[in-house]
Structure 1
Amino acid sequence: MQIEGNWSWHAVTLFQIIPSCIQIAFIYWVPESPRWLVDKGRNEEALNMLAFYHGGFEYREIRDTITIEKEVTKESSYLDFFRTPGNRWRLAIILSLGIFSQYTGSALFSNYINLIYEVWHCQLTVISQLNGGNTILSLIVSVSAALTIDRFGRRRLFLVATSGMVVMFICWTISSAVYENSDSTNKAAGYVQIPFVWIFGVFYSIAWSGLLVA
């Protein structure tokens, strides 16, 4: 089924909003977490909830953790991020990951990939198939990479992902330049960009998609 005009993307956006609207409508009936109840001094309610769902074995752990966190908070502040070289280095890593993730070229996939496919004269059905396949592949790679953190480490995965993205972007740029310089007559240079785009997405999914929150 093909939808013409602005509704081709309006419909997709509205469909994605439905789950969020359901969550907003029923969020007020969701019970508070035991940690929140303990933090607010409502220990009896927290204990009853844990006894009902977990047999009460987590209550003491949560209570002790909240107590320790409050004691630590009294003696610490956000200035601790800058007081030692180690903390400053960790803060720099966290900030750089957030910034660099926006400069990886992923915006091409999320915002302009359909326009790129259209430049290569792909039909709408083919574009939908390519987008669907790329999304499924990225999900599989992202989850698989997140499950291997303990084996390979974040640093190695980020290095592999970033290096692969750079190489694929170079190949993608070269083939795109060849295609444009041929006045769009070099079809091979146009179609070869598709695997470069996909492989770029695979490398992106290895680290920059899932490891930022894993």
Structure 2
Amino acid sequence: MPLSPKVYTWLCGLFASLGSVVFGYELGVMAGVLAAEDFQVRAPRSRGVVSDLLNFRSFFGMFPVAYVADFLGRRKTIQIGALIYMLGGALQTGARNMDFMLAGRFFAGFGTGILADLAPLYQAEIAHPSIRGRLTTLQQFMLGIGAFTASWVTFGCSSGLRGTQAEWRISLGLQIVPAIPLALFILFFPESPRWLAEKGRTEEALATLARLHAHGDVNDSFVIGQMDDIQAEIMKSKEIGSASYVPKALTSILQLTAYPSRWSELFTVPSNFRRLALGYILQFSVQMTGVSAIQYYSTEIFQTMGFTTNRILLFQSINSVIALIGEACCVLWVDHFGRRAPLIIGNIASGLSFCVGALLMAPSFFVVDAESLYRTWVFNFFFSSCIGPLSWAYPAEIYSTRTRAKATAITSSSSWISNFFIAQITPIAFQSIGWRYVYSSQSFLLDLVFAICGHTNALVIWAFFPETSGRRLEEMNDLFTESPLFVGGTQYAKTPNRHAAEQELRDRECLVVLSLLRLEI
């Protein structure tokens, strides 16, 4: 029995998410590597440089990636990212000195940036509207798989290979494994039909849509309706984009296909700029929850509690299991509950966890370490089930095909630069602010700044972010043009029926067919 179209499409998105496994492993493995005794001897004072270089390189890598994704397509760009990452992983694994390690981090960061940006973009462009949330949130779920694997690998290496080079070289070497099948086989999967249509390859786009959504039947009403929808949206966005730098009198005379998208369109077209601002704010707000401070400096924080390195790695492994459960919940529920509600609830819950922790770790009210540890696990669950997955899913679906690669490059750069920012200021805060920022002697990571940010994040999302769940990608231009700037409490904040988009396209095509039959009669 052949797979149903939705299952097939979901599996295509799952394979593309191997890049997210790479991303998660890269984030998770460094805590164990930096804590390894042999690594500390070979690379003293390397923590800040090694941790930050990946984010810094990923930030600058986003902008050339946008050009490559628009020129070569989504699949080939993902393949290039996997190959670059494999080079970085190999250099780190075989590093003989810090120069090799930094070069490896440079290339790994570049490759990770490509994969983290392109995976949700590709998933959004191949997805059926009713399961688009499930595909795009696979980014964070597979990232959780990578972090889960990294935490247990480093725990095992620390337990069995302590004090040897193998303790950190094996951990780093295994990061290459998920990138190998991605680089080898991604070209066997369908290209984005929207990219094909954007390039004027209409027949290939139609065949790809049929392959994804109708067992290859190019006459399927949903496929035809979706193809018409895509072409109409592409033509409309080209008219809007070309009007920003081509005189209106010439737009009807010149071929619009001669005018590819420009960066300036994202800033000069009001609807585009609104979406760009919301995507940038969303991805920046993620780091303001405090998640990166936990990821990068959890080893040092646990050490202040008196735990051994082996016990710390065990705690991180348990934390990765909790994260994985939360991310799985998001994949299962996101298309039912929409985008806004989980983001709002997740930010409030994370903010409350820091409020409670700030109270408990005040100098006059210290609590036992176990209570702080449990609170961190609660934070991790809500972050993983609500905030992390949707921070990548929402930006990937709100832009037009014409601007999506460039826009997500900018919004993704927000994630990297804010990550870099947090990594820089957290160790300074350890020294200067004390319990008001991050507790650093007897209790666990808790912070008033992050508590405030969690609640302000929720307020901003409630007020300004329209609901996108259940809508076609081709609706997004109209959604962000017609909806008011303040959407809280309006119809644009409600979650529509996730099956409505499919039914609308099928009904529209059926009406066209009936009209043609009447004309013939």
Using the size of structure 2 for normalisation, the TM-score is: 0.34
Q: Which residue of 2 aligns with 1:4?
A: 162
Of the three residues 165, 168, 179, the one matched with 1:20 is 179
Name the counterpart of 1:111: 296
Q: Deviations over 1:80-101 (max 9, x none)?
A: 87536xx765543322111111
Distance in structure 2 (CA, Å) of the matches to 1:152 and 1:31 = 30
Q: Which runs of 5+ in 1 are unaligned?
A: none
Please state whether the residue corresponding to 1:139 is helix, strand or coil.
helix
Q: C-alpha deviations, 1:142-174, integer Å up to 9, x for none?
A: 332454345544333223222222222233344
| Deviates further, 59-68 or 9-18 | 59-68
Corresponding position: 1:30 with 2:188 = yes
Decide whether aligned partners of structure 1 residues 32 and 160 sit closer, same or farther in structure 2, where only a CA change above 3 A counts. Answer: closer
The change in CA–CA distance for 1:46 and 1:206 in structure 2 (over 3 A counts) is closer
Residues of 1 paired with 2:237 and 2:279: CA distance? 21
Question: Residues 26-72 of structure 1, C-alpha deviation per residue, up to 9 Å, x if partnerless?
Answer: 44x52552725554537269649957982324663564344223311
Instruction: Name the structure 1 match of 2:234.
Output: 70
- Per the TM alignment, residue 177 of structure 1 is displaced from its structure 2 partner at its CA by 4.6
Alignment: residue pair count: 205
Aligned residues of 1:82 and 1:88 also touching (Cα < 8 A)? yes
Q: Which whole-Å CA distance do the structure 2 matches of 1:142 and 1:136 have between them?
A: 10
1:1-214, aligned counterparts within 5 Å?
A: 1=156, 2=159, 3-5=161-163, 8-27=167-186, 29-30=187-188, 33=191, 35=193, 36-37=195-196, 39-41=199-201, 43=203, 47=207, 50=210, 54-57=215-218, 60-61=224-225, 63-77=227-241, 78=265, 82-83=269-270, 90-178=275-363, 188-214=367-393
Is the CA contact 1:165–1:204 (under 8 Å) kept in the aligned structure 2? yes
- Alignment-mate amino acid for residue 161 of structure 1: G
Q: Is the 8 A contact 1:143 1:210 kept in 2?
A: no
- Residues 7 and 109 of structure 1, relative CA distance in 2, 3 Å threshold: farther
For 1:156 and 1:127, the matched residues in 2 are separated by 34
TM-score (norm 1): 0.72
CA distance in 2, matches of 1:144, 1:165: 17
CA contact (8 A) 2:266 2:273 kept: no
> Could you tell me how far apart the structure 1 residues matched to 2:333 and 2:235 are?
35
Superposition deviation, residue 195 in structure 1: 0.9
- Which amino acid counterpart does residue 239 of structure 2 have in structure 1? E
Is contact 2:207-2:216 (8 Å) kept? no
d(CA) in 2 for partners of 1:91, 1:48 = 29
Greater CA drift, 90-99 or 32-41: 32-41
Identity, % of aligned pairs? 22
Between the aligned partners of 2:224 and 2:196, the Cα distance in structure 1 is 13
**In 1, Cα distance between the equivalents of 2:293 and 2:201?**
49
CA distance in 1, matches of 2:336, 2:289: 25
Q: Distance in 2 between matches of 1:9 and 1:165?
A: 32
1:79–1:201 distance in 2 versus 1, CA, 3 Å: closer
- CA distance in structure 1 between the partners assigned to 2:202 and 2:343 by the alignment: 43
**Alpha carbons 1:114, 1:127 under 8 Å: kept:** yes
Instruction: Sort the Cα spacing of 1:76 and 1:11 in 2 relative to 1 into closer, same or farther, 3 A.
Output: farther
Secondary structure at the aligned position of 1:192 is classed as: helix
Contact 2:190–2:208 under 8 Å retained in 1: no
Which has the higher relative contact order, 1 or 2, with Cα contacts under 8 A spaced 6 or more apart?
2
Q: Distance in 1 between matches of 2:361 and 2:319?
A: 20
The 2-side partners of 1:126 and 1:168 are apart by 23
Give the drift of 1:105: 0.7
Partner amino acid for 2:375? F
Is the 8 Å Cα contact of residues 157 and 207 (structure 1) preserved in structure 2? Answer: yes
State the Cα RMSD in Å.
3.7
Separation in structure 1 between the aligned mates of residue 343 and residue 177 of structure 2, nearest angstrom: 34
Contact 1:168 1:196 in 2 (8 A): yes
Look up the equivalent residue of 1:213 and give its one-letter code: W
**What is the alpha-carbon distance in structure 1 between the residues aligned to residue 280 and residue 209 of structure 2?**
38
- Per-residue deviation, residues 159-214 of structure 1 (Å, max 9, x unmatched): 32222222222333444454xx89xxx7x533321112111212222321122234
